[in-house]
A = this chain, B = another copy of it.
Amino acid sequence: MKGNVPVGGDHPVTVQTMTRGDTADVEASVAEIRALAAAGAEIVRVAVPGARAARAIAAIKPEIPVPLVADIHFSPALAFLAIEAGADCIRINPGNIGKHREAVREICRRCRDRGISMRVGGNEGSVMERRGIEVVELDGDPVEKMVGEVLESLAILEEEGFRDIVVSVKSHDPLDTIRAYRLVAAQCDYPLHLGVTHAGAGEPAVIKSATALGALLAEGIGDTIRVSLTGDAAGEIRAGREILRSLGLRPRRLEVYACPSCGRADVDVARLAAEVEEMVRDLAEGRELSLRVAVMGCEVNGPGEAARADVGIAAGRGWGYIMRGGRVLEKVEAGRLVERLRRHILAFTRGEAGEGAAGAREGAAPEGGGAP
């Protein structure tokens, strides 16, 4: 449990993020966390770089609807303050706090007494040794070293009988991230927090997270995820949810899928799909709409793919079929396709039989044979 949110076991994989503002600014932090929660963040982490930030947690906590994780580095004293302030979870980093074994024991005891969970969060970037102004990468495989440090910290917590733990072993490199989580999953059965650290910004960063987390989640590894995107917490949540949806780990509330279009298409599929998306989003506004809508531009895969959707369009030149569950409901002229689709979606969501199914008999079958 992180606060009232279960993590691990058969519970749904959660999406989390981290605030960007100064944690010590209570009002701004509350506003930021509420906005992130509204956007879908199920757990939010805050940086705790100093005592003011740690103490601010006491004022932030009662005002927010999601569990709060305090991100602690270097300093056991800050962990004690964050525990005192009522954080739901304390994240420690074995790479920079692991040497203080006695302090880690004490953090763990205080968390146990208060029912607070801990994240043991390794990070490849902190598995370095600083010698004066030089930063030296130590000998050996950094992934194995990071995992080793995490396992050492876990052993300390276990000696205290503490098991309310989430584990992470992030690298900035997707392959190293996959390797690290596989290693740690083979050696402990705590819930795992997945992420690629310092992924950067924009599409390349989203793709790094999606390939690494996709590989792990498809193997059944991972219980909560964070996508790291420079300066874009809302984007982190959006991408995190899409990653889960893509692997069937979240219901696909509303999905419009379309063929990529090719020289075979008789219609502008991209434009038609955009119109359908807009119409469907408009319909979905303010209601729970679980719906798969297909927009297909040709006879090759169109009817087959449209058949797998709840409702769909298989478009031809100047007209299209509206389909539902494998049946052609109507043949409609191009200009009225979106409007008719809207009516059929409304009928579908009301649980009514396919409206206009009779009209289908007027339409010709999709041609089975191509030219010439």
What is the CB-to-nearest-CB distance from A278 to chain B, in angstroms, rounded to a whole number? 12
A364 proximity list for chain B (CB < 8 A): 133
Cβ < 8 Å to B, chain A residues 203-222: 203-208, 210-215, 217-219
Which of A71, A74, A231, A245 lies at the interface centre, i.e. has the most chain B CB atoms within 10 A of its CB? Answer: A231
Q: Which residues of B contact A11 (CB under 8 A)?
A: none
Closest to A367 in B: B74
Question: For chain A residues 230-275, which have a beta carbon within 8 Å of chain B?
Answer: 230-233, 236, 238-239, 242-243, 245-248, 255-265, 268-271, 273-274
Q: Which of A157-165, A194-202, A282-290, A343-351 contacts B (4 or more CB under 8 A)?
A: A194-202
A67 to B248, CA, bound (A): 36
Chain B hits for A327, CB < 8 A: 133-135
Contact of A370 among B78, B132, B273, B361 (CB under 8 A): B78
Minimal Cβ-Cβ distance residue in B for A132 = B365
Which range holds the interface residue count of chain A? 35 or more
A137 at the interface (CB under 8 A from B): yes
Given contacts A96-B300, A230-B261, A270-B232, whether A247 and B174 have CB atoms under 8 Å apart is yes
Residue A366 is within 8 A (CB to CB) of chain B in the complex: yes
Establish whether residues A198 and B305, one from each chain, have CB atoms under 8 Å apart when the complex forms: yes
Any B CB within 8 A of the CB of A13: no
Would you give the shortest CB distance from A151 to chain B, in whole angstroms?
20
Determine if A38 is an interface residue (Cβ-Cβ < 8 Å): no
In the complex, how many angstroms separate the beta carbon of A291 from the nearest chain B beta carbon?
14
* Known contacts A134-B326, A137-B307, A246-B211; is-contact A270 B201 (Cβ 8 Å): yes
Q: Does A169 contact B (CB under 8 A)?
A: no
A204: B residues at CB distance < 8 A: 242, 245-246, 255
Say yes or no for A136: interface residue by CB 8 A criterion. Answer: yes
Q: How long is the Cα–Cα vector from A58 to B46 in the complex, in angstroms?
A: 62
Given known A-B contacts A262-B47, A300-B126, A305 and B372 have beta carbons under 8 A apart? no
Known: A49-B371, A231-B271. 14 other contacts (CB 8 A): A49-B263, A49-B370, A128-B304, A133-B365, A135-B306, A197-B301, A198-B296, A198-B305, A200-B255, A207-B243, A208-B242, A210-B211, A211-B246, A215-B218
